[in-house]
Amino acid sequence: MPEQQRSATSTLDTVAVAATDPDRHQPWADLGLKADEYARIREILGRRPTSSELAMYSVMWSEHCSYKSSKVHLKQFSEIPQETPAGKMLAGIGENAGVIDVGQGYAVTFKVESHNHPSYVEPYQGAATGVGGIVRDILAMGARPVAVMDPLRFGPLDAPDTHRVLPGIVAGVGGYGNCLGLPNIGGEAVFDASYAGNPLVNALCVGVLRHEDLHLAKASGVGNQVILYGARTGGDGIGGVSVLASETFDADGPAKRPSVQVGDPFMEKLLIECTLEIFAAGLVAGIQDLGGAGLSCATSELASAGDGGMHVELDRVPLRDSTLAPEEILMSESQERMMAVVEPGDVEAFMAICAKWDVEAVVVGEVTDTGRLEIDWHGERVVDVPPRTVAHEGPTYERPYARPSWQDALQADRAEDLARPASGAELLETLLRLVASPNLCDKSWITDQYDRYVRGNTVLAQPSDSGMVRIDEETNLGVAVSTDCNGRFAKLDPYAGAQLALAESYRNVATGGATPLAISDCLNFGSPEDTDVMWQFAEACRGLKDGCLELGIPVTGGNVSLYNQTGETAILPTPVVAVLGVIDDVTTRTPSGFAAAGERVFLLGETREELSGSEWANVVHGHLGGTPPRVDLAAEKALAELLAEGRGLLTSAHDLADGGLAQALVEASLHRMVGARVSVADVAGGDAFVALFSESAGRVLVTVAEGEEDRLVELAARHGVPLTALGVTGGDAVSVEGQFDAPLLEVRSAWMATIPAALA
């Protein structure tokens, strides 16, 4: 339909119209609001909302923005002391991202978020804008983004749709992140049938700032100017609002527009440099990025966090599509936009910096003392609301939850009872099969599409256990990050599964020599309207809270993604945990691969017969049942302390996780093609299969130079960490005494072939 005809037939729904036409039918249900929520909006306003107001409330009260199902469980995270092992947090939950002190006057902010559903609909743009969104969150805190990471989950590697989704998502993550000049320093790629119709794209960003540069999202100071800058606002990402538009427009409705946002990383790069220059010049009183819910979110959150009032002239917003209606402008999720609150005297300097970077900037409003968010469209008021009611006083649900009826049967079906390989030849066959399986194979087909070197500060990246970047070139201060989750463990026991994710991520950061300080989480679950899923969610939150309390590290923020399911089938509960740690001197980090022949190989930690939920059970038997490995956070803490103190002594350290000791030996050997000759006679009571394939937590494979064994024995004894001597590095095979020799060339070709072959 011709655009002119559309705008000619639209009628503006103003506050005045709402008063004279109180009973007009409104499409609240189509916008995802429940009857009681719509009634609540009418009660707040004392009248029916205008269509613009309805648009704002519907998007801000959505699950995605309001956390209405998860809030009651998330609030327990604030019971954890807001303090890290390095000191008080500078900003906590509720800000765009938490900010922690890492010493030497530096602070670090990091956060992990989901972009799951858009990435299924349009893999490239969904993943790309996921990266873009999290980077702006970090930028909005006043920090320079310094690295990204992407935990990804897909359906089976051999499923046809995975061949559509995976290359697109990986290209999108790379295409956007590479163009921003941010090194991608790690992440995950996990395959499970439950993600087939619902891949998970989680994106993490780390940023660095000086303490004094912290900026918070608030609109303070009456008379301060509200500036919208960055990309123009278009019709992308407005999905559901079309029902509003179709009411205002002719019966034919508006042109179909993509509901997935489209990213422009070049604009984002300019926005980053421009914003950092604006920060450096001291021109910002408050700032907010525009992500989900676009202007609805930015205006209402800024106003409610500040002095409580804001007046916006919406027709000043630069548009890509001049036919957009006010409702659409308020809900548009066009990317690469920021909103800043600036003192009137600083506006000129602000605009000059934007002009230098060719970034369009417009004053769209000002801070008021009315306590209301007032938005006009060509002089007519279309929004007049108390901003807190939009941003923070959305509905809260106490969703019913109950332990699933099938949970006991699932836990009774133990993988420890499955048939096992017995001979050395069978163990070797199992090892080769596992290293080539989708979850354990080489992921370089994916990670080689990401720039891991840009900015020149990457100290560790894939395939290391954690990513590590230097943040000060003079002092060599650095930070390390890891993201982890084993959804199979979480399915077997969501409380323990969440703690195992926490423990693994914590251990991975410690393995490189850093001291874990804080976590961010991305809680990916199915429908909260399913009591089974809601129980998984509640248990995972409780597990995380108890785990963080015991480890003495806070939750700095994160994200919840619900409704991840295909039909009635929910994804594996997937509480992805990102742990950030600090290392005072990155030159002392411990690498994860064997460096040279002749070094002594040891196993730290205790190996139990724990096979339920393991990759062995998954790959060999297609089995998921039993209870996950035991969680011992006190042991994890002792292990982390040992690893930090062991810097310089340890020539390598590699976490044991999926695939157990066998996989760890293979990965450590393949790093530089330095093999090892080991005996597992002293592991797990001499049961070679359990020793090699159990996935007990709290274990790390380490090496020391010949002659340094006693120092390691003393160190382990002092920290109370069990230590087992395994053997010595060298040779061109992983040789397990009395069992098998696995030639590295053969292992490597099996390990590397899987993903390229599947996607060829």
DSSP string, 560-628: EE---EETTEEPPPEEEEEEEEEES-GGGPPPSS--STTPEEEEES------TT-HHHHHHH----S-P
Least distance to other proteins, CB of residue 336, Å: 11
Least distance to other proteins, CB of residue 529, Å: 40
Q: Is 459 in the site for other proteins (CB under 8 A)?
A: yes
Least distance to other proteins, CB of residue 752, Å: 14
Give the integer Cα–Cα distance in Å for 47 and 36: 15
Give the integer Cα–Cα distance in Å for 750 and 287: 50
Which burial class, exposed, middle or buried, applies to 616 when counting CB atoms under 10 A from its CB (0-12, 13-18, 19+)?
A: buried
| Nearer to other proteins (CB atom), residue 354 or residue 427 | 354
CB within 8 A of 484, min separation 6: which ones?
151, 188, 501, 504, 505, 508, 576, 577, 657
Q: Is 270 in the site for other proteins (CB under 8 A)?
A: yes
Pairing of strands 676-678, 733-736: parallel
Least distance to other proteins, CB of residue 596, Å: 16
Q: Which amino acid is at 750?
A: A
Least distance to other proteins, CB of residue 417, Å: 44
Which of 700, 698, 717 has its CA nearest to residue 635? 698
| Nearer to other proteins (CB atom), residue 388 or residue 455 | 455
From 130-138, 169-177, 214-222, 706-714, span contacting other proteins (CB under 8 A):
169-177
Least distance to other proteins, CB of residue 340, Å: 20
Within 10 A of 3 (CB to CB), how many other CB atoms are there? 12
Q: Is 454 in the site for other proteins (CB under 8 A)?
A: yes
Q: How many residues does the chain have?
A: 760
Q: Which residue has the tokens 């490597």?
A: 748
Q: Is 442 in the site for other proteins (CB under 8 A)?
A: no
Among 75, 452, 542, 711, binds other proteins (CB under 8 A): 452
Q: Is 123 in the site for other proteins (CB under 8 A)?
A: no
DSSP string, 314-351: GGGS-BSSTT--HHHHHH---SSEEEEEE-GGGHHHHH
From 49-57, 260-268, 662-670, 673-681, span contacting other proteins (CB under 8 A):
260-268
Q: Is 358 in the site for other proteins (CB under 8 A)?
A: yes
Would you say 632 and 446 are in contact if contact means Cβ atoms under 8 Å apart? no
Among 104, 411, 449, 566, binds other proteins (CB under 8 A): 449
Q: Is 457 in the site for other proteins (CB under 8 A)?
A: yes
Q: Is 475 in the site for other proteins (CB under 8 A)?
A: no
Among 154, 357, 377, 602, binds other proteins (CB under 8 A): 357
64 is catalytic: yes
**Annotated catalytic residue, options 73, 115, 311, 719:** 115
Token digits of residue 6: 């559309």
Least distance to other proteins, CB of residue 129, Å: 15
Q: Is 588 in the site for other proteins (CB under 8 A)?
A: no
671 is catalytic: no
| Nearer to other proteins (CB atom), residue 457 or residue 486 | 457
Give the containing element (helix H, strand E) for 127: helix 123-139
Give the integer Cα–Cα distance in Å for 241 and 697: 47
- Side-chain-side CA neighbours of 50 within 13 Å: the count stands at 25
Q: Is 281 in the site for other proteins (CB under 8 A)?
A: no
Q: Is 735 in the site for other proteins (CB under 8 A)?
A: no
| Nearer to other proteins (CB atom), residue 372 or residue 452 | 452
Which of 521, 620, 648 has its CA nearest to residue 578? 521
Least distance to other proteins, CB of residue 451, Å: 5
Q: Is 181 in the site for other proteins (CB under 8 A)?
A: yes
Q: Which amino acid is at 720?
A: G
Residues 509-548 that bind other proteins (CB under 8 A): none
Would you say 101 and 84 are in contact if contact means Cβ atoms under 8 Å apart? yes
| Nearer to other proteins (CB atom), residue 466 or residue 564 | 466
Q: Is 171 in the site for other proteins (CB under 8 A)?
A: yes
Helix (H, G, I), strand (E, B) or coil at 634: helix
Among 19, 81, 164, 266, binds other proteins (CB under 8 A): 266
From 451-459, 527-535, 685-693, 706-714, span contacting other proteins (CB under 8 A):
451-459
Give the containing element (helix H, strand E) for 103: strand 98-103
Least distance to other proteins, CB of residue 171, Å: 7
Among 264, 307, 328, 376, binds other proteins (CB under 8 A): 264
Token digits of residue 428: 């070797």
Q: Is 178 in the site for other proteins (CB under 8 A)?
A: yes
| Nearer to other proteins (CB atom), residue 511 or residue 607 | 511
Helix (H, G, I), strand (E, B) or coil at 210: strand
Q: Is 671 in the site for other proteins (CB under 8 A)?
A: no
CB within 8 A of 13, min separation 6: which ones?
50, 51, 52, 248, 382
Q: Is 262 in the site for other proteins (CB under 8 A)?
A: no
State the residues that interact with other proteins by CB under 8 A. Answer: 171, 174-175, 178-181, 264-267, 269-270, 357-358, 447-459, 470, 473, 586-587
Active site members: 64, 115
